[in-house]
Amino acid sequence: MPILVMKFGGTSVANLDRIHRAAKRVALEVAKGYDVIVVVSAMSGETNKLVDHVAGTSPLYDAREYDAVVSSGENVTAGLMALRLQEMEIPARSWQGWQVPVRTTSAHASARIEEIPPANILTKFAEGMRVAVVAGFQGISPEGRITTLGRGGSDTTAVAFAAAFDAERCDIYTDVDGVYTTDPRICEKARKLDRIAFEEMLELASLGAKVLQTRSVELAMRYKVRLRVLSSFEEPSEEAGTLVCAEEDIMESNVVAGVAYSRDEAKVTLISVADRPGIAAAIFGPLAEAGVNVDMIVQNISEDGRTDMTFSCPQDQILRAEQALAAARGSEAIGYSDLVVDRAVAKVSIVGIGMRSHAGVAAKMFATLRDEGVNIKVITTSEIKVSVLIDRKYMELAVQALHDAFGLDQAA
């Protein structure tokens, strides 16, 4: 029988009533003739409680025990889902990561999936099991310890299972009914997309869209897993949700597919650093070692052998960045004269595969922001993306203006 992967996020399994509702959706797919792999998250809020328990017990905790504790939320959901399906007379059983097994690296709290051997679950399907309910977010290390994949890791689990089992599709059930052209909470004209290319979804996810975890989209693109994002609270239909697929599966699309934003950004400028080979490595090496996620980077024109270097990073990493740069300041390698930090900026981006073949998209973006009186501080581009750093107070205005300027409320 064909295999379908269905993933239910925390809000979709937040209580017994919602688990029952999700089980009914699984039953519909079983009735269509699918063998189903259901990947579940912990009930909404449970993982946060478990993280708090760990921190309250041991502030300098053992990462291996952290994973043992925080992975338990998914185990509870998987067992309850399997029980409910059994009550509906559907042959089902739960699977923890080590039982599959989901083999991962040893990086506790941020492990990466290395292999999912399908033999154990396929054997049970052959014996009459119709639904395998898998605890998401978790796996097993080469040392035999429980690992977790990082927050949002159940999305990655689901896509990895779809790839390993050559599933027909991977349905991601969440609390939104698809992927929108931008955040509907900011722009009331935001429109749900019927389809979006892997590349566009990957850019939107990495730029701040919260619908899918970035690693899950990377996996889907690599293994050509067709993803469908849909709401667990809407009535099932063939037109529901948004399909994330290969570019060639999309007949027509707008030049720009969506507008993304990241609110809590900060801008750091090193004043008067030496303009010579190796200066970038001397600056960004210590930042990497400190765990600072550097994003946009701009180097000014050199004057008298000195230049300014500007970069952005998440606002909650500024203290680490300042400490790392202060420690490196005394070295001859850097020796900047001053460090200027702007904590009140936001990143706004436009994304679209149509930008590859259409000139003037960036110019239109810049003109739109100019007309709204929004000053651009930093610009970065890729083949299908343009991002700008602006004052945070203008972020919502910029998102709405760009959404209107590129006609994203209208289908192609």
pLDDT digits (tens, 9 = 90+) for 47-63: 999 999 999 999 889 99
Q: Which among 33, 3, 7 is positioned nearest to 229, based on CA atoms? A: 7
Which DSSP category does 375 fall into?
A: P
Domain boundary among the residues 175, 200, 216 is at: 175
Does 9 count as an annotated binding residue? yes
Burial 185-216 (b: 16+ CB within 10 A, else e): ebbeebbebebbbbbbbbbbbbbbbebbbbbb
Does 174 count as an annotated binding residue? yes
Regarding whether 298 and 399 lie in a shared domain, the answer is yes
Does 180 count as an annotated binding residue? yes
Residue 257 to residue 368: CA distance in whole angstroms = 17
Residue 216 within a domain: no
Does 177 count as an annotated binding residue? no
Regarding predicted confidence, which is higher, 358 or 44? 44
Q: What is the pLDDT of residue 211?
A: 79
Q: What stretches of 290-410 show up as alpha helix (H) in DSSP?
A: 318-329, 361-371, 395-405
Q: What is the pLDDT of residue 148?
A: 96
Q: Which among 333, 324, 315 is positioned nearest to 287, based on CA atoms? A: 324
| Residue ranges making up the domain that contains 101 | 3-175
Regarding whether 268 and 121 lie in a shared domain, the answer is no
Mean pLDDT, the chain, rounded, equals: 92
Regarding predicted confidence, which is higher, 41 or 302? 41
CB 130, CB 110: distance < 8 Å: no
Q: What is the pLDDT of residue 331?
A: 64
CATH number at residue 57: 3.40.1160.10
Regarding predicted confidence, which is higher, 232 or 20? 20
Q: Given a cut of 70, is residue 332 above it in pLDDT? A: no
Q: What is the pLDDT of residue 2?
A: 96
Q: What is the pLDDT of residue 206?
A: 81
Residue 361 to residue 164: CA distance in whole angstroms = 39
Per-residue model confidence as pLDDT tens digits over 344-358: 999 999 999 988 888
Beta-sheet strand order (sheet of 113-115): 113-115, 103-104, 138-140, 146-148
How far from the centroid of its chain's Cα atoms is residue 15's Cα?
Answer: 24
Does 381 count as an annotated binding residue? no
Per-residue model confidence as pLDDT tens digits over 90-133: 999 999 999 999 999 999 999 999 999 999 999 999 999 999 99
Regarding whether 138 and 26 lie in a shared domain, the answer is yes
Domain boundary among the residues 142, 175, 208 is at: 175
Confidence of residue 173 (pLDDT cuts 50, 70, 90): very high
Does 391 count as an annotated binding residue? no
Q: State pTM to two decimals.
A: 0.83
Domain boundary among the residues 125, 143, 175 is at: 175
The number of distinct structural domains making up the chain is 2
Does 210 count as an annotated binding residue? yes
Regarding whether 28 and 164 lie in a shared domain, the answer is yes
Q: Which among 399, 394, 348 is positioned nearest to 373, based on CA atoms? A: 394
Q: What is the pLDDT of residue 251?
A: 72
CATH number at residue 366: 3.30.2130.10
Q: Given a cut of 80, is residue 237 above it in pLDDT? A: no
Residue 391 to residue 377: CA distance in whole angstroms = 8
- Within 13 Å, how many C-alpha atoms sit on residue 179's CB side? 32
Q: Which among 115, 120, 146, 139 is positioned nearest to 39, based on CA atoms? A: 139
How far from the centroid of its chain's Cα atoms is residue 158's Cα?
Answer: 13
Q: What is the pLDDT of residue 268?
A: 94
CB 44, CB 74: distance < 8 Å: no
Mean pLDDT on 317-331: 86
Q: What is the DSSP string of 223-284?
A: HT--EEEEETTS---TT-SEEEE-GGG-S---S--EEEEEEEEEEEEEEEEE-STTHHHHHH
Regarding whether 39 and 157 lie in a shared domain, the answer is yes
Q: Which among 166, 172, 80 is positioned nearest to 116, based on CA atoms? A: 166
Regarding whether 108 and 10 lie in a shared domain, the answer is yes
Per DSSP, the chain holds a count of helices (H) and strands (E) of: 12, 18
Does 185 count as an annotated binding residue? yes
How far from the centroid of its chain's Cα atoms is residue 161's Cα?
Answer: 17
Confidence of residue 77 (pLDDT cuts 50, 70, 90): very high
Per-residue model confidence as pLDDT tens digits over 372-384: 999 999 999 989 9
Q: What is the pLDDT of residue 272?
A: 87
Regarding whether 264 and 161 lie in a shared domain, the answer is no
Regarding whether 280 and 164 lie in a shared domain, the answer is no
Classified as helix, coil or strand, 346 is strand
Confidence of residue 252 (pLDDT cuts 50, 70, 90): low
Q: Given a cut of 90, is residue 9 above it in pLDDT? A: yes
Q: What is the pLDDT of residue 205?
A: 84
Mean pLDDT on 289-305: 84
Q: Which among 40, 37, 38, 35 is positioned nearest to 10, based on CA atoms? A: 40
Residue 8 within a domain: yes
Does 34 count as an annotated binding residue? no
Residue 196 within a domain: no
Regarding whether 171 and 263 lie in a shared domain, the answer is no
* Tokens coding 93: 């059983």
Residue 271 within a domain: yes
Classified as helix, coil or strand, 144 is coil
Apex CA 397: angle with CA 391 and CA 403, to 5°?
Answer: 120
- Within 13 Å, how many C-alpha atoms sit on residue 375's CB side? 4
Q: Which among 181, 192, 323 is positioned nearest to 261, based on CA atoms? A: 181
Residue 273 within a domain: yes
Regarding whether 296 and 164 lie in a shared domain, the answer is no
Does 211 count as an annotated binding residue? yes
Q: What is the DSSP string of 284-316?
A: HHHHHHTT-----EEEPPPBTTEEEEEEEEEGG
Confidence of residue 334 (pLDDT cuts 50, 70, 90): confident
Confidence of residue 412 (pLDDT cuts 50, 70, 90): low
Residue 221 within a domain: no
Confidence of residue 64 (pLDDT cuts 50, 70, 90): very high
